[in-house]
Amino acid sequence: MAKMEKWKYSCSTTGHSVDAETCCICLEEYADDDDVGKLDCGHEYHVACIKEWLVQKNSCPICKNTALAT
């Protein structure tokens, strides 16, 4: 399985301080220094949440496209 793009979340660099972003898997808002990962389709999740999801299926929870190319 391909590697997912990962980074530490920082609300000061995203410009989304008014509209908090949330992980659609756990439904929690991203907090500073959270590990965030992006799938091939561009959707973002907490790394721990999406890794657990990908154990079950290699598809994006939002758009159902292939999560990570092999």
Question: Is 64 a domain residue?
Answer: no
Task: Count the domains in the chain.
Answer: 1
pLDDT at 11: 79
Question: Is 42 a domain residue?
Answer: yes
Give the domain CATH number at 31. 3.30.40.10
Say how far apart CA 50 and CA 55 lie, in whole Å.
9
pLDDT at 1: 46
pLDDT at 17: 46
pLDDT at 57: 92
Question: Is 70 a domain residue?
Answer: no
pLDDT at 3: 84
Question: Is 12 a domain residue?
Answer: yes
Cross-strand partners of 59: 66
Domain of residue 21 covers 5-56
Question: Is 66 a domain residue?
Answer: no
Question: Is 68 a domain residue?
Answer: no
The pLDDT profile of the chain, 70 residues, written as one tens digit per residue, is 468 899 899 876 555 444 568 999 999 999 999 999 999 999 999 999 999 999 999 999 999 999 998 6
